[in-house]
Amino acid sequence: MNLSTLSKKYNTKAKCIAYLEKLRWGKKPVCVFCGDKEHITKRNGTTRYHCNKCNKDFSVLVDTIFEDTRLPLIKWFQLIMLILNAKKGISAKQLMRDINIGYPTAWFAAMRCRCAMINSCNSLQHIVEMDETYVGGKPRRRYPKNDALPIISRVYNKRGRGTKKIPVVGIVERDGNIVLKVIEKLTSKNLLAMLRDNVKIDKSIVITDDFKSYRKFDEVVEHLTIEHSKGIYSKHGVNTNTIEGFFSILKNSIRGQYIAISKKYLPFYLVQAQYIYNNRNFKGNLFEVYLKNAVQHEKCLLNYKPKKEAKKIVFIKCKMKKAAKALKGL
């Protein structure tokens, strides 16, 4: 799907609504409030339906990322297509120029789109790499208040562990999917919890660097370590090159597309990067797959603010049995 095809197939509101109804309900509308299928009446001249069982009106947009929007669905579809086709992300300013909408509208709509990219759970296995990175500005020279001090006394912001940047942990299956999460404290307990939530431990080999918080992995999973502290980055296929390569793409996208991202909304941008990476080899109609997911997701922002803490919205814990069922249903 591209913008040329999109403009021909979905160039009216009626066509967009009909497409969303097909993806959400199939042939027959279902009440979004009580789930009834048999007592539904179409409101003449509108896109709304009336449920005679619970006596409520609804449309296909209720309880989705499109609910209460004033942005025409034609432009919603264009915006979604641009985001899905931008492998390294796209800024709200660029969306504003491409679709001819206001900046606040572009930003808010893009954030709603990212809500529909949230996966309920992930299940990684086989050879798995895990590492952390730090997202933030480049280290800047700190000048003390007393400028009379010699330059040698001026210090620089620290890079890597111990910095004030935001820690982001990633787990990637080689030739498979990736999971990202913001973790404020990189303790063994927190890293192990993330590992258990996303990796089939009994079917996996986990590769990390020699950071001390990974040492307890030896007790729960087959764990291989590459000693970066000794200048060793790959040995007999043991390396974390896949996850480090992804982190390079992530940081380049932030640096090149978004310029700056707030800590508050960083998890939503990570969701987008994760979604694009996990669908990099998808051969089908990703636009259709995305919309089918979008009409099942409620908007997670209200009045430009997340309904709750962003980390809790985008990272949902689940057991592996539930994860397997979810994956089979895709």
DSSP for 199-260, written as a single string? EEEEEEEEEEES-GGGGGGGGTSEEEEE-GGGT--EETTEE-HHHHHHHHHHHHHIIIIIS-
- At 158-207, the pLDDT tens digits run 666 667 788 899 999 999 999 999 988 889 999 999 998 889 988 899 99
- At 119-161, the pLDDT tens digits run 755 688 899 999 999 887 666 655 555 555 444 434 445 666 6
Checking if the pLDDT of 44 tops 50, the result is yes
Cα-Cα-Cα-Cα dihedral sign, residues 130, 330, 273, 297: negative
What are the backbone dihedrals phi and psi of residue 114, each rounded to the nearest 5 degrees, phi first? -65, -25
pTM of the model: 0.83
Q: Report which of residues 304 and 6 the model is more confident about.
A: 6
Residue 142 is predicted with a pLDDT of 57
Residue 110 is predicted with a pLDDT of 92
26, 29, 35, 40: CA torsion to nearest 10: -160
Q: Report which of residues 158 and 93 the model is more confident about.
A: 93
Residue 329 is predicted with a pLDDT of 40
Checking if the pLDDT of 97 tops 60, the result is yes
- At 250-271, the pLDDT tens digits run 988 888 888 878 888 888 899 9
- Two tokens, residue 305: 């603010």
Residue 75 is predicted with a pLDDT of 94
Please give the average per-residue pLDDT across 238-243, as a whole number.
Answer: 90
Q: Lowest-confidence range among 155-159, 213-217, 220-224, 279-283?
A: 155-159
Per-residue b/e over 238-255, b at no fewer than 16 CB within 10 Å? Answer: bbbebbbebbeebeebbe
The domain segmentation of the chain, as residue ranges, is 1-62, 124-274+306-328
Average pLDDT, the chain: 82
Banded pLDDT at 229 (limits 50, 70, 90): confident
Please give the average per-residue pLDDT across 288-310, as a whole number.
Answer: 72
Quick check: 251 and 236 in contact, CB under 8 A?
Answer: no
Q: State the Cα–Cα distance between residues 166 and 179, nearest whole angstrom.
A: 16
21, 75, 253, 129: CA torsion to nearest 10: 0
Banded pLDDT at 275 (limits 50, 70, 90): very high
Quick check: 189 and 215 in contact, CB under 8 A?
Answer: no
- How big is the chain, counted in residues? 330
Residue 315 is predicted with a pLDDT of 63
Query: pLDDT over 90 for what percent of the chain?
Result: 35
Checking if the pLDDT of 237 tops 90, the result is no
- Give CATH for domain 124-274+306-328: 3.30.420
SS3 category, 313: helix
Residue 259 is predicted with a pLDDT of 80
Please give the average per-residue pLDDT across 91-98, as a whole number.
Answer: 94
Residue 98 is predicted with a pLDDT of 93
- At 58-72, the pLDDT tens digits run 999 988 888 888 899
Parallel, antiparallel, or unpaired for β 222-226 and 234-235?
unpaired
Residue 159 is predicted with a pLDDT of 66
Parallel, antiparallel, or unpaired for β 49-51 and 222-226?
unpaired
- At 281-290, the pLDDT tens digits run 888 899 999 9
Amino acid identity for residue 156 in this structure: Y
Q: Is 282 exposed, middle or buried (0-12, 13-18, 19+ CB in 10 A)?
A: exposed
